[in-house]
Amino acid sequence: MTGRARSTDGYAAEAATLAVRYESIRFEDVHADILHLVPAAPKRVIDIGAGTGRDAAALAGRGHRVLAVEPTAELRAAGERLHPEAGITWLDDGLPDLARVRAAPDRFDLAFLTAVWMHLDRAERQVAMRALDDLVVPGGRVFMTLRHGPVPPGRRMFQVTAGETVTLAAASGFAPVHESRRGDMLDRDAVTWTMLVLEKAEAA
């Protein structure tokens, strides 16, 4: 019997190809629009759905302490091999619950979700936003990229707008500090991306 589709479906089988694709694009290019919102001083960072660790490695290289969370074992193994930096800690966990991360005492100043949010359905996005509220400290920021366009065969994705995401985030005390749109860096004409940065309200 076929089970319920998972957000990670399709990634294990294509891990080797995806690793080459992910690593072909620089962190600085992917996040060019929002780099000015990443603090220069060392922070506690969680990279959720870290893939092969491209973003985690770049953030660690900037002096941040990074927890790279990746549920697909094949991608996680590739990341550990490609980016053995001491500033990265790898963890097998995933959205929407992030149960293992939340069970630990660490909380984070910055959260990165690059090409991740569109894998969650509406109910899962609600759970995931509450998890982010639990994990991100007051004044902390969430950096998201939202994918728009056709769903590749064998993948589980949903069309998610910036407006819906901002509204959902507001219920957990996050407000937008940046929103921009760009084309696809892998030259897929039908794919575009929204860059979204949310900031959690300071404690009263």
pLDDT of residue 189: 85
Residue 10 in any domain: the answer is no
pLDDT of residue 70: 95
Q: Is residue 161 part of a domain?
A: yes
User: CA distances (Å), 120 to each of 32, 64, 87, 89, 177, in order?
Assistant: 25, 27, 29, 24, 23
Q: Is residue 119 part of a domain?
A: yes
- Whether residue 85 is contained in a domain is answered as yes
**Residue 173 is assigned to a structural domain of this protein:** yes
Give the per-residue pLDDT at 11. 54
pLDDT for 2 equals 36
Output the domain CATH number for residue 167: 3.40.50.150
Domain of residue 175: give its range: 15-200
Asked if the structure places residue 6 within a domain, the reply is no
Strands in 65-69's sheet, in edge-to-edge order, are: 88-91, 65-69, 44-48, 108-114, 136-148, 192-200, 174-183
**120 class by beta-carbon count within 10 Å (0-12 exposed, 13-18 middle, 19+ buried):** buried
Domain-embedded: residue 8: no
pTM (two decimals): 0.89
Would you write out the chain's pLDDT as a tens digit for each of its 204 residues?
334 445 444 455 565 566 567 777 899 999 999 999 999 999 999 999 999 999 999 999 999 999 999 998 988 998 999 998 778 999 999 999 999 999 999 999 999 999 999 999 999 999 999 999 999 999 999 999 999 998 888 878 999 999 999 999 999 999 999 999 999 888 888 999 999 999 999 976
> What distance in Å separates the CA atoms of residue 139 and residue 144, rounded to the nearest whole number?
16
**Interatomic CA distance for residues 8 and 153, integer angstroms:** 13
Q: Is 144 helix (H, G, I), strand (E, B) or coil?
A: strand
Is residue 59 situated within a structural domain?
Answer: yes
Q: How many domains does the chain have?
A: 1
What pLDDT shows up at residue 17? 63
